């Protein structure tokens, strides 16, 4: 039974570059979430999907951020024109939703982004 | 106003003792869910326990129990018989309302268990 996996685990990039992260959820889970966590804070919601549909996106999410889940399985999070303020841990989670019930979210190990 | 408030930045507890981590929440929606997650130094968030707003009884999962006081809007986590491996950050989170599945997290409490 594999958990949520994220790649890469670490990414160092220069300001202005684009980066893309990948998340592979637990196979039977139909919901997938992205969060961002900065040092000393709790995770902050970015967006989530049910299958391939993006159901909710944080108002705090800049237009430089885009997420996709094209086939309802893995998801990618792209950040364009990175800024130093984008440096954070990007966490992916997945869960099962069915019959009007939502269950706990299982998190991956995260991708740590450092923008220099 | 903060949706989730964790007022204890750090807590110490001796091994085998019980410890309570505080969490208060703010919502006007009658339907919500409360979660506790553990984040060890490795970084991965580990689900511990869940309490629904309509649940009549306090949730329990092994050594974890949730002291849910609805009128006071508090959802404190109780860890019994602390172990050295319990040393970690603990986050309280809320799912607010029936039409969203996003979690709102508090700022966390760092628990240190000493021998």
Which of A25, A39, A105, A113 to mutate to test binding with chain B, by most B CBs within 10 Å of its CB? A105
Contact B105 A44 (CB under 8 A): yes
- Whether B31 shows a pLDDT value over 80: the answer reads yes
Alpha helices in chain A (DSSP H): none
What are the distances in angstroms from CA B22 to CA A29, A98, B93, B114?
Answer: 31, 31, 12, 20
Q: What is the pLDDT of residues A77-87, one digit of tens each?
A: 999 999 999 99
What are the distances in angstroms from CA B34 to CA A21, A58, B49, B51, B68?
Answer: 29, 20, 8, 5, 9
Contact B104 A89 (CB under 8 A): no
Q: What is the pLDDT of residues B34-67, one digit of tens each?
A: 999 999 998 899 999 999 999 989 999 999 999 9
Q: What is the pLDDT of residues B51-60, one digit of tens each?
A: 999 998 999 9
Cβ B60 vs Cβ B68: under 8 Å = no
Q: Does A48 touch chain B (CB under 8 A)?
A: yes
Cβ A75 vs Cβ A22: under 8 Å = yes
Residue with tokens 């930045």: B9
Task: Taking residues A88-101, report their average pLDDT.
Answer: 89
């Amino acid at each position: 039974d594999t958990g949520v996996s994220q790649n890469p685990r670490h990414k160092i990039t220069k300001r202005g570059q684009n980066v893309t992260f990948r998340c592979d959820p637990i196979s039977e889970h139909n919901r997938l979430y992205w969060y961002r966590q900065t040092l000393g804070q709790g995770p902050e919601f970015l967006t989530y999907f049910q299958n391939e549909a993006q159901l909710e996106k944080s108002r705090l999410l800049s237009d430089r951020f885009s997420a996709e889940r094209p086939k309802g399985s893995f998801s990618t999070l792209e950040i364009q024109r990175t800024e130093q303020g984008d440096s954070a841990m990007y966490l992916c989670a997945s869960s099962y939703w069915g019959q009007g019930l939502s269950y706990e979210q299982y998190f991956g190990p995260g991708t740590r982004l450092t923008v220099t | 106003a903060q949706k989730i408030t964790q007022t204890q930045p750090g807590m110490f507890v001796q091994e085998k003792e019980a410890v309570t981590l505080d969490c208060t929440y703010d919502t006007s929606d009658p339907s919500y869910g409360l979660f506790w997650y553990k984040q060890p130094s490795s970084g991965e968030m580990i689900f511990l326990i869940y309490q629904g707003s309509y649940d009549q009884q306090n949730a329990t999962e092994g050594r974890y129990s949730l002291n849910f006081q609805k009128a006071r809007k508090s959802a404190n986590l109780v860890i019994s018989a602390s172990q050295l491996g319990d040393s970690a950050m603990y986050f309280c989170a809320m799912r607010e309302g029936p039409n969203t599945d996003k979690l709102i997290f508090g700022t966390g409490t760092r628990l240190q268990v000493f021998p």
